[in-house]
Structure 1
Amino acid sequence: MAGAGSGKSLRIVFATIGSFGDLHPYIALALELNRRGHRAMIAGSDVYRDKIQALGIDFHPLGPDFNRVQSVPGLVDQVLHPRTGAETLIRDVMMPNLRESYADLSAAAEGSDLLVSHPLAFAARLVAETQGRRWASTFLAPFTALSVHDPSVMAEIPFLNLLRPLGPPLFRQIYHHVMLRAHDWSAPWHAFRAELGLPPAADDPLFAGQHAPDLALGLFSPLLGAPQPDWPRNSMATGFAFHDDDDQAGLPPDLAAFLADGPPPLVFTLGTTMVRRPGSFFEDSLKAAQRLRRRAVLLVGSKSSLPLGPLSESAISVAYAPFSALFPRAAAIVHQGGVGTTGQAMRAGRPMLVVPFGYDQPDNAARVTRLGIARSLPIGRYTASRAADQLGRLLDQPSYQRRASEIGRKIAAETGTQTACDALVALAEAGQNPDRQSPRLRAAG
């Protein structure tokens, strides 16, 4: 079971940083690799240690320490800011902790056959080069590829979607200016690279330099973002790598009883990051559902000011429920547009209203809107009346549900986890056997 090539058990280390949406794809890959007889390790924030080890996956801590980050007054709010959060995250969180991250990942990668990086794992390329180790990169959303042929919407420039018809020449200029503006964000990475004795890098780790030369995996469906001519070389869109907490245990009993007691409800969620700063989202959502005379499920997290449990005969508030069990039972899904939540909603085959905050969320919202399975309402414009209006249009037009069902069937037929693991194993085995060629994977899907 240890692979179709050499048959030798491989040790593969995943380096990831971020929320559950940044962790779950690597859990899916690690579980599949372990099932095949290999040995996977996840290097990530220590807050995930128990969660990862409980699944039988090796774990190694990887800085920055997010407990320490969260203790800095106001820093989390700055990181979650819709327009400037990315700059704060890189300048004030990632780069100041680069040495810590490098030391942690150097230890984790010792003796491994392959190192696999998340886009924010800036130390991974440095570790791979200093240790002479095989390296594969991943990107979790099309946004990260920054293709001029399939332009992304940026939170800092929300009107970019309107400029798509103007084509690649305009977007080459726009991306050039974006990269110039962000160039000094990564200056500490270049300085540390020189300190390690590595040659200067011509590319930027925030952009093209984050992608490994031998294999760059887009861990999402080509329906969300099809491979483009200017994607990284040796890249592919594998399909989503799904993992859901407690998906075997099913729904909480009170939620299961609520769902069984009436028609499919509207489901409102902000994922696991934006739920920390929901503002009036859940109160407005409850009012919107009442205006539409629809039942509602609110996934409010563990620290909500709303009480947990039944809010009325037609609404219930729960801290969390596995998306894979809940979403297929919804009439429509209202969410923040994180790529993990978006993928789960696409697989469920339900129409959605996307309420993007920042980062890749505006781009994901634009993509599912173009697919004909969603409408979008930015968080800054989200009110009870506007949400009710958008949801009314979503539910009253049968084309949304028809298209969402079609997309759901296609997503369900994809084999993202298996496809990604096949490519990772092939690359790792090529490293063990110099006579074997590295995989040359232009695109899949």
Structure 2
Amino acid sequence: MRVVLSAYDSRGGVEPLIGLAVRLQGLGAQVVLCAPPDELPLRGVPFVPVGRSPKELMAAKVPVTPASIPQRAAALIAEQFEKLQAVLDGADVLVACGILPSAVGARSVAEMLGIPYVYVAFQPNSLPSAHHEPIARPGHPLDPAVTDNRVHWEQDAEAANALFRDVLNTERARHGLPEVKDVRDYGFTDRPWLATDSLLGPWLDEDAEVVQTGTWILPDDGPLPDEVEDFLDQGEPPVYVGFGSMPVGDAGREAAEAIRALGHRVILSKGWAGADAEDCLVVGEISHPALFPRVAAVVHHGGSGTTHTAARAGVPQVIVAHSGDQPYWAQRVTALGIGATGASITDALRLALAPETSAHAAAVAAAMYPDGAAVAAELLIEEYGR
């Protein structure tokens, strides 16, 4: 069986696909990953770079304007057609995730070649449901006067069409494909997959056909860098601070200062923003699955991958949400009593480090499903294997 995995996203949105790829390879499947040309823990998975590096775009401070969003989408869709045709030749299924233009471009190539397509989301609020509101699209904020989530989702479909339908259909016409009327639903399909844990990120809408597999974690129990091991051995478990790909300015330094003021040591991840601070250990890319079980708490931006990894480690969390799905995960962490959020990191950390929060975190970790990537790999082979 040959599986192609496609994503245009930051590292946190691509690593789950590598976790799936490793499981698929363990079951004898051939796998190719198509993703942006950023540094990734590929684990031997064949890789085809697609699209400009999101990290380089952020570092270059390329402005995002109402006109630039469709332009970038058009370029990404065109590159999907250029790169994926050869990769998909002879494939049994395409699995796609990431931003919508990437997914609809990938599906269009699969449609052209007659290859089955599966869309996967890494947070429930990416998928339409009356139980939650959508994530606002660029230039299309949610109307605070609207209280019916179904209306929000109707407006979300209109926003997706306004942003991406013309550029998608222009590229499809070049390749002899018919027009798409609803871009979002074309990308999502009527049977999307959801790679979240059913306790941490449950799917509540029984009327929608969604395949929830559990979260796709890339296992990593290898050794930590020597400097990290030495730091961990020198005292009480520290607090980890990391905001991933978020352009957070001084947030890392400010969080580190607040944590030290409470008497705790700090491991600070540079992230894409290049965070730095005094009197703490500053690290680059580091294995979250290996590190998180050994820290007192995790302060982070609230991405799906980091939230799941911290929850699986049984460590309390403080989420400083910025955008996208992050407010959803902040709400879930507080609802389960495994962490805190709020304007004051000091107050949130006090709550996160309370004994009852640690007890809840340990209980949730014990109840989470161990390996959603294995479930997804078996389902793909069962449904699409020859």
The alignment's TM-score, normalised by the length of structure 2, stands at 0.88
- Larger displacement relative to structure 2 (334-343 or 111-120): 111-120
1:134 aligns with 2:128: no
Q: Say which of 209, 220, 245 aligns to 2:196.
A: 220
What is the distance in 2 between the residues matched to 1:303 and 1:279? Answer: 6
Q: CA RMSD in A?
A: 2.8
1:347 aligns with 2:312: yes
What is the distance in 1 between the residues matched to 2:135 and 2:111? Answer: 33
What is the distance in 2 between the residues matched to 1:291 and 1:57? Answer: 44
What is the distance in 2 between the residues matched to 1:73 and 1:264? Answer: 36
Give unpaired runs (5+ residues) of structure 2: none
- Larger displacement relative to structure 2 (318-327 or 65-74): 65-74
Q: Counterpart of 1:289?
A: 259
Q: Counterpart of 2:383?
A: 427
**Cα distance, 1:352 vs. partner?**
0.8
Which amino acid in structure 1 is aligned with residue 180 of structure 2?
A: A
Indicate if the aligned counterparts of 1:148 and 1:230 stay in contact, CA closer than 8 A: no
Q: Counterpart of 2:94?
A: 115
Which amino acid in structure 2 is aligned with residue 403 of structure 1?
A: H
**Equivalent residue runs for 1:335-414 within 5 Å:** 335-377=300-342, 381=343, 386-396=344-354, 398-411=355-368, 413-414=369-370
Indicate if the aligned counterparts of 2:4 and 2:94 stay in contact, CA closer than 8 A: yes
**Cα distance, 1:390 vs. partner?**
1.8
Which amino acid in structure 2 is aligned with residue 190 of structure 1?
A: N
**Cα distance, 1:106 vs. partner?**
1.2
Change in 2 beyond 3 A, CA 1:51/1:319? closer
What is the distance in 2 between the residues matched to 1:111 and 1:178? Answer: 35
1:279-312 Cα shifts (integer Å, max 9, x gaps): 11122112201221112111124873637xxx43
Change in 2 beyond 3 A, CA 1:95/1:410? farther
Change in 2 beyond 3 A, CA 1:302/1:335? closer
Change in 2 beyond 3 A, CA 1:322/1:192? same
| Percent identity between the two aligned chains | 26
Give unpaired runs (5+ residues) of structure 1: 1-9, 79-83, 433-445
What is the distance in 1 between the residues matched to 2:73 and 2:56? Answer: 10
Q: Aligned to 1:16, what secondary structure does the other structure show?
A: strand
Q: Counterpart of 1:18?
A: 9
Q: Aligned to 2:8, what secondary structure does the other structure show?
A: coil
Change in 2 beyond 3 A, CA 1:92/1:363? farther
Q: Counterpart of 2:79?
A: 100
Q: Aligned to 2:32, what secondary structure does the other structure show?
A: strand
Change in 2 beyond 3 A, CA 1:258/1:69? closer
Indicate if the aligned counterparts of 1:147 and 1:230 stay in contact, CA closer than 8 A: no
Q: Counterpart of 1:240?
A: 215
**Cα distance, 1:414 vs. partner?**
2.7
1:56 aligns with 2:56: no
1:324-351 Cα shifts (integer Å, max 9, x gaps): 1111112111000111111111111111
- Larger displacement relative to structure 2 (140-149 or 336-345): 140-149
1:253 aligns with 2:240: no
What is the distance in 2 between the residues matched to 1:51 and 1:347? Answer: 20
Indicate if the aligned counterparts of 1:118 and 1:137 stay in contact, CA closer than 8 A: yes
Indicate if the aligned counterparts of 1:113 and 1:134 stay in contact, CA closer than 8 A: yes
What is the distance in 1 between the residues matched to 2:142 and 2:321? Answer: 11
Change in 2 beyond 3 A, CA 1:47/1:200? same
Q: Counterpart of 1:436?
A: none
**Cα distance, 1:90 vs. partner?**
4.6
Change in 2 beyond 3 A, CA 1:388/1:92? farther
Indicate if the aligned counterparts of 1:150 and 1:228 stay in contact, CA closer than 8 A: no
Q: Aligned to 1:242, what secondary structure does the other structure show?
A: coil
Indicate if the aligned counterparts of 1:372 and 1:403 stay in contact, CA closer than 8 A: yes
The alignment's TM-score, normalised by the length of structure 1, stands at 0.77
1:278 aligns with 2:234: no
Q: Counterpart of 2:238?
A: 265
Change in 2 beyond 3 A, CA 1:119/1:197? same
Indicate if the aligned counterparts of 1:266 and 1:334 stay in contact, CA closer than 8 A: yes
**Equivalent residue runs for 1:150-169 within 5 Å:** 150-152=132-134, 154=136
Indicate if the aligned counterparts of 2:20 and 2:216 stay in contact, CA closer than 8 A: yes
Which amino acid in structure 1 is aligned with residue 287 of structure 2?
A: P
**Cα distance, 1:195 vs. partner?**
3.6
Q: How many residues align?
A: 380
Indicate if the aligned counterparts of 2:302 and 2:327 stay in contact, CA closer than 8 A: yes
Which amino acid in structure 2 is aligned with residue 174 of structure 1?
A: H
